Chains A and B, each alone.
Chain A
Amino acid sequence: MSKGRLRWRKFVSNFMLAMTGVCAFVSVLVLFFILGYLLFNGGTSINWDFFTKLPKPVGEAGGGMANAIVGSGKILLLASLMGVPIGFLGGIYLAEFSGKGMASVVRYAADLLNGVPSIVIGIFAYSLVVLPFKHFSALAGAFALGIMMIPITLRSTEEFLKNVPRMLREAAMALGASKWKTIVTVIVPAAYRGIMTAILLALARVAGETAPLLFTAFGNRFESHGWSQPTATLPVMIYTYAVSPYDDWHRQAWAAGLVLLGLVLIINILARTILSRGIAVPRS
């Protein structure tokens, strides 16, 4: 047990610990690098046209992604309308009404659904909504994204409802409120912030999804009206433009990437900081 050996051990210790610090900072740096690159490349291409004009024919410069932005908005809205109620009410069932057996089955199904690769969800939506109607549609896209929102919404709702202190429930029931009244007027409002956070995070996650839209909403060079037409969406446009051979399209892809990432990050930061002060935030 010599002095030299001790010096070596201490050197190794300091070196390895420094290396772990390097790993951590490199990992975080990637985020800033992505942001920086997008800002640089995309920032210059964002202009009023981008938000208001439709895409120009292939090969022509100019135009914008107005239809994709609207399309994404439509699909996300419908997806939320489909997925959130199922997740939310299902979560209420798990937290307030269910027996142990049913609860584990539902939870297991939700966890399973959560782990399914998004492209497989796309296949499912295709067989259920595209095949029977024989065309691509915004509805199909919304269906796929809606399914993806269910597991997070369900688990988080259950989690946050369960965390509401017993005192609150008992106080309401002691005043003669029935169970469902207690849930609606006391428990859900108490858990509201956590649940909103989770829904926003779920929304941010599906907002960036491309794969399930590839053969559900598909895409469109023009505006699409209603819900049963193929619809352009921001992520799919980015993909299409990025792999194309046209420089102008590349430029637009950067701009769209910046918009998409900005949207996703803002929702995430909003959900994680403002809404969830003091609440443990679910990891995606």
Chain B
Amino acid sequence: MQASAKPEFSVNIVTNLTTPASRETSAALPMRMTITKLNFSYGPKQILFDINMGIADKKVTALIGPSGCGKSTLLRTLNRMYETVSTSRLEGEILLDGQDILAQDVTALRRRVGMVFQRPNPFPKSIFDNVAYGPRINGYKGSLADTVEKSLRHAALWDEVKDHLHKSAYELSGGQQQRLCIARALAVEPEVLLMDEPCSALDPISTAKIEELMVELKNLTTIAIVTHNMQQAARVSDFTAFLLTGQIIEFSPTPHLFTTPSDPRTEAYITGRFG
């Protein structure tokens, strides 16, 4: 792959993540997923350049950056969703628990790395059947009703829908539909949950509810979130990566990146001078 028009500056990357506290003890946090030397293009157009970063286990990692910087594209490499586009080409290594995801079966991978999309997209089925879809196709032998309840509780939706499980998912409000999609994704017990701007189509109240959710969910599953809302990233995430034109400019613990960013471009972005 040609490194077409690759910008010439060096990048500040903290690959070996340590929290301020553990810096003294220099103990590294466990990484659920690691990305090494990732280059990605759609046809002739290269989108991602030499990405190196990790997704810390049981933490929330946020990807921020201006429109078109490649953050969604990066997220979608993690569950190989880019493969639905035939011209996509990926170079580099992505590991999940130490195993190369490109060498695995993609169907099995996607059960382990789940995704919530920008706009709520429940299936044309009942609330119950939406959540039960994942377990069903994977041949889950246990009690579906229990699994559905558990997932809906994790998504903070159970109380609102418990008496209406057989109603169509489309009768829910936008915010509820998105929480349903979260419940649906959680039902297959993924190791990592990818969230692609999950609140961008929602009103502020629904957004607040989902942000609360994320903070609790990280005890259950590792979360990687793309957001164009910097305040949201600052509120919910433990680690933040700032991308610009397909490269990671800075990747560090969230408090550090937002208060004392190491790179001037990061500072320019978070202070609103562009993007």
A and B touching (C-beta < 8 Å)?
A: yes
* A residues at B contact (CB < 8 Å): 1-2, 5-6, 9-10
Does A1 contact B107, Cβ atoms closer than 8 Å? Answer: no
Residues from chain A with Cβ under 8 Å of B108 in the complex: 6
Does B140 contact A9, Cβ atoms closer than 8 Å? Answer: no
* B residues at A contact (CB < 8 Å): 105, 107-108, 111, 137-140
Does A9 contact B111, Cβ atoms closer than 8 Å? Answer: no
Residues from chain A with Cβ under 8 Å of B140 in the complex: 1
Residues from chain A with Cβ under 8 Å of B111 in the complex: 1
Residues from chain B with Cβ under 8 Å of A6 in the complex: 105, 107-108
Tell me, in angstroms, the Cα distance from A9 to B105 when the chains sit together.
Answer: 12
Nearest residue (CB) in B for A2 is B139
| 14 examples of A-B residue contacts, CB within 8 angstroms | A1-B111, A1-B138, A1-B139, A1-B140, A2-B139, A5-B138, A5-B139, A6-B105, A6-B107, A6-B108, A9-B107, A9-B137, A10-B105, A10-B107
Nearest residue (CB) in B for A7 is B105
Tell me, in angstroms, the Cα distance from A85 to B107 when the chains sit together.
Answer: 58
Tell me, in angstroms, the Cα distance from A6 to B139 when the chains sit together.
Answer: 9
A-B pairs, 4 with minimum CB distance: A1-B138, A5-B139, A6-B108, A1-B139
Residues from chain B with Cβ under 8 Å of A2 in the complex: 139
A-B Cβ contacts below 8 A, count: 14
Q: A1-B138, A6-B108 are in contact. List 9 more A-B contacts (CB 8 A).
A: A1-B111, A1-B140, A5-B138, A5-B139, A6-B105, A9-B107, A9-B137, A10-B105, A10-B107
Tell me, in angstroms, the Cα distance from A214 to B175 when the chains sit together.
Answer: 63
Residues from chain B with Cβ under 8 Å of A5 in the complex: 138-139
Q: How far is the CB of A17 from chain B (nearest CB, A)?
A: 14
Tell me, in angstroms, the Cα distance from A5 to B141 when the chains sit together.
Answer: 12
Tell me, in angstroms, the Cα distance from A9 to B137 when the chains sit together.
Answer: 9
Q: How far is the CB of A4 from chain B (nearest CB, A)?
A: 10
Tell me, in angstroms, the Cα distance from A10 to B137 when the chains sit together.
Answer: 12
Tell me, in angstroms, the Cα distance from A5 to B111 when the chains sit together.
Answer: 14
Tell me, in angstroms, the Cα distance from A10 to B111 when the chains sit together.
Answer: 14
Tell me, in angstroms, the Cα distance from A197 to B191 when the chains sit together.
Answer: 56
Residues from chain B with Cβ under 8 Å of A9 in the complex: 107, 137
Q: How far is the CB of A45 from chain B (nearest CB, A)?
A: 48
Q: How far is the CB of A247 from chain B (nearest CB, A)?
A: 54
Tell me, in angstroms, the Cα distance from A173 to B144 when the chains sit together.
Answer: 66
Tell me, in angstroms, the Cα distance from A10 to B105 when the chains sit together.
Answer: 10
Q: How far is the CB of A178 from chain B (nearest CB, A)?
A: 47
Q: How far is the CB of A260 from chain B (nearest CB, A)?
A: 41
Q: How far is the CB of A7 from chain B (nearest CB, A)?
A: 9
Tell me, in angstroms, the Cα distance from A2 to B137 when the chains sit together.
Answer: 12
Tell me, in angstroms, the Cα distance from A5 to B140 when the chains sit together.
Answer: 11
Residues from chain B with Cβ under 8 Å of A10 in the complex: 105, 107
Q: Which of A1, A9, A10 has the most CB of B within 10 A?
A: A1
Q: How far is the CB of A9 from chain B (nearest CB, A)?
A: 7
Q: How far is the CB of B109 from chain A (nearest CB, A)?
A: 11
Nearest residue (CB) in B for A8 is B139
Nearest residue (CB) in B for A3 is B108
Q: How far is the CB of B156 from chain A (nearest CB, A)?
A: 26
Residues from chain A with Cβ under 8 Å of B139 in the complex: 1-2, 5
Q: How far is the CB of B191 from chain A (nearest CB, A)?
A: 13
Q: How far is the CB of A30 from chain B (nearest CB, A)?
A: 29
Nearest residue (CB) in A for B105 is A6
Q: How far is the CB of B111 from chain A (nearest CB, A)?
A: 7
Tell me, in angstroms, the Cα distance from A5 to B108 when the chains sit together.
Answer: 11
Q: How far is the CB of A13 from chain B (nearest CB, A)?
A: 8
Q: How far is the CB of B130 from chain A (nearest CB, A)?
A: 19
Tell me, in angstroms, the Cα distance from A9 to B110 when the chains sit together.
Answer: 14
Residues from chain A with Cβ under 8 Å of B138 in the complex: 1, 5
Q: How far is the CB of B95 from chain A (nearest CB, A)?
A: 20
Q: How far is the CB of A152 from chain B (nearest CB, A)?
A: 34
Q: How far is the CB of A97 from chain B (nearest CB, A)?
A: 40
Residues from chain A with Cβ under 8 Å of B107 in the complex: 6, 9-10
Q: How far is the CB of A124 from chain B (nearest CB, A)?
A: 42
Tell me, in angstroms, the Cα distance from A2 to B138 when the chains sit together.
Answer: 8
Residues from chain A with Cβ under 8 Å of B105 in the complex: 6, 10
Tell me, in angstroms, the Cα distance from A9 to B138 when the chains sit together.
Answer: 9
Q: How far is the CB of B1 from chain A (nearest CB, A)?
A: 29
Residues from chain B with Cβ under 8 Å of A1 in the complex: 111, 138-140
Nearest residue (CB) in A for B137 is A9
Tell me, in angstroms, the Cα distance from A169 to B229 when the chains sit together.
Answer: 44
Residues from chain A with Cβ under 8 Å of B137 in the complex: 9
Tell me, in angstroms, the Cα distance from A6 to B140 when the chains sit together.
Answer: 12
Tell me, in angstroms, the Cα distance from A10 to B139 when the chains sit together.
Answer: 13
Q: How far is the CB of A3 from chain B (nearest CB, A)?
A: 8
Nearest residue (CB) in B for A10 is B107
Tell me, in angstroms, the Cα distance from A2 to B111 when the chains sit together.
Answer: 12
Nearest residue (CB) in A for B106 is A10
Q: Which of B111, B137, B139, B140 has the most CB of A within 10 A?
A: B139
